[in-house]
Chain A
């Protein structure tokens, strides 16, 4: 199911971009950290703590930056191309997925120059439908898996779900970590689970959802990011969107810093995906500023940064129209997502 075209579009993160130092694999101390559970725990507990006050202050300061006019228009288009259009409701069905797929291909039928979104994110049983509806469009199909959103099931069931998603043709798998195990300090168990899912993903990309709202503090988010990166995550993702608080700017700063340091230490480039709670263009632009300032401009690409959102796209489209035509648009002008 995974076509050559998809491979081209989404290179393995480790191979891109060319500007990064040559990929040599993790240096000694990182390999050492994954030797056994004791070493992993030592490594994660030994990570320097996060200065919460400084972090929040920086996030607030950067959020105040004004992006206007032509720059705003370009930021909007960039943000549209980074959206993982998401539907994760109990009421999802094939027709809803088809409707969203049409929107993913052509976000605004009145303006064909609007870029398509990055991917459509659905539950595993609807992956096949999404793949059919998006064939040839260049829009990826992402699937949540591993007993999303709670992650409370047996490893066997979780792996079976991942296999189902990948067999159905998902290009990307969004897994959740076992927060219970993580908070109990069983880092080895969380690590093994991510590694097994990584293996089951095959050619598909793996996004690891940390569910930062349940981790209780920036230090744990920082540790969980490193844990996921060590275990082979292509993306670290903040939240499922089912727990409040979902993505926040400071938490995303932590994740962005983790991927930046990961590249500095290993030469490998990994992505970040904030999800949940990003509803307005203003929010999205704040995130883009954070990406540029914390990680670097290399990350301003759908290959390395995504928005997990459903309502955001409509607001981006309304703002785009306002920027282009000088009058405010309303929700009647964009599609209603049931």
Chain B
């Protein structure tokens, strides 16, 4: 018996490479088109197959995001904060896995990757804390000279389309996604297949941490193929074109204007994601609602 066991354990093992799927409506599904792309590590070795999303997947993702928006935006700020804290906990719990994935994907050293993952976890925590403070930051009671008061509250804009950063796989993604969620929006994120591995792993953390299905939808694929569809989609309320090529920006804004989308004025060159983000992105994806309240005698 022990002889058999020894023989098995010394045999060269055939690994089981994973197929990374799309994250739409809270479940992991292959692309409707059936397309997959091989994903290589930064050093060129085959790592896995990732789904290549089609336009129909994009439409399904937007529909899922719209469906989930009511529940997520209607949840209390405290509850949303708790859920995002939980996401951070899940990321922290699988830190080693993320470190190796980020290192392989971006070609970083172990120390650099570790730093990127830690910053990403910290950032998720940081934005989780903002959910119930955003109202104080942006809203308030305006000063008017008349027999009424003016109350302003920030409200989420709705479904936000995000083109994920290209230079930072996990930290970049968390930095653009967390503020969208913290403000109460639902998101459809386009991720380049080259960066699919950490992105889909993050989705797995989301799926196991009480984020309602459909609040986050991640489509891996060729962003260039889907991005104009995302910009023209009438049911997407805002767009973060941050990861889109500089040459596309003008055209995207023009397309987005067709459905009066709010477009984030993202820097043309990707920022250093490790620096403190500020609250700009939280503000960008909220809409201020102002109510006049008459004062009676």
Where the two chains meet, the residues of A that have a C-beta atom closer than 8 Å to any C-beta of B are: 326-333
Contact = CB atoms under 8 A, between A and B. Distances in A.
A326 B235 CA distance: 14
B235 A327 contact: no
Nearest to B231: A327
Given A326-B232, A331-B66, 9 more contacts: A327-B229, A328-B232, A328-B235, A329-B234, A329-B235, A330-B62, A330-B66, A330-B234, A333-B234
Contacts of A327: 229, 232-234, 258-259
Most buried by A among B58, B229, B235, B258: B235
Contacts of B233: 327-328, 330
A329 B234 CA distance: 5
Nearest to B234: A330
A327 B258 CA distance: 10
B59 interface: yes
12 contacts: A327-B232, A327-B259, A328-B58, A328-B59, A328-B234, A328-B235, A329-B234, A329-B235, A330-B234, A330-B236, A331-B235, A332-B234
B66 A328 contact: no
Nearest to A329: B234
Contacts of B236: 330
Closest 3 CB pairs of A and B: A330-B235, A327-B232, A330-B234
Contacts of A331: 66, 235
A334 to B, nearest CB: 10
A328 B236 CA distance: 10
Contacts of A333: 234
Most buried by B among A328, A332, A333: A328
Interface string B41-75: 00000000000000000110010001000000000
B223 to A, nearest CB: 17
Most buried by B among A326, A329, A333: A329
Interface string B212-235: 000000000000000001001111
Contacts of B58: 328
Contacts of A332: 234-235
Contacts, number: 28
A312 to B, nearest CB: 15
A73 B233 CA distance: 19
Nearest to A315: B63
A331 B234 CA distance: 9
A326 B258 CA distance: 12
A327 B252 CA distance: 13
Nearest to B159: A330
Interface in B188-241: 229, 232-236
Nearest to A280: B63
B227 to A, nearest CB: 13
A323 to B, nearest CB: 12
Nearest to A325: B232
Contacts of B229: 327-328
Interface in B258-289: 258-259
A173 B232 CA distance: 44
Nearest to B236: A330
A326 B66 CA distance: 20
Nearest to B55: A328
Contacts of A330: 62, 66, 233-236
Nearest to A322: B59
Contacts of B235: 328-332
Contacts of B234: 327-330, 332-333
A333 B229 CA distance: 17
Contacts of B258: 327
Nearest to A328: B233
B185 to A, nearest CB: 15
A30 B259 CA distance: 60
A326 B233 CA distance: 10
Nearest to A327: B232
A328 B234 CA distance: 6
A18 B233 CA distance: 46
A326 B55 CA distance: 11
Contacts of A326: 232
Nearest to B235: A330
Contacts of A329: 234-235
B176 to A, nearest CB: 22
A326 B259 CA distance: 13
B122 to A, nearest CB: 36
Contacts of B62: 328, 330
A176 to B, nearest CB: 32
A332 B59 CA distance: 15
A330 B69 CA distance: 14
A326 to B, nearest CB: 8
A332 B259 CA distance: 11
A330 B58 CA distance: 13
A150 B59 CA distance: 38
Contacts of A328: 58-59, 62, 229, 232-235
A324 to B, nearest CB: 13
A328 B55 CA distance: 10
Nearest to B258: A327
B96 to A, nearest CB: 40
A332 B236 CA distance: 10
Contacts of B59: 328
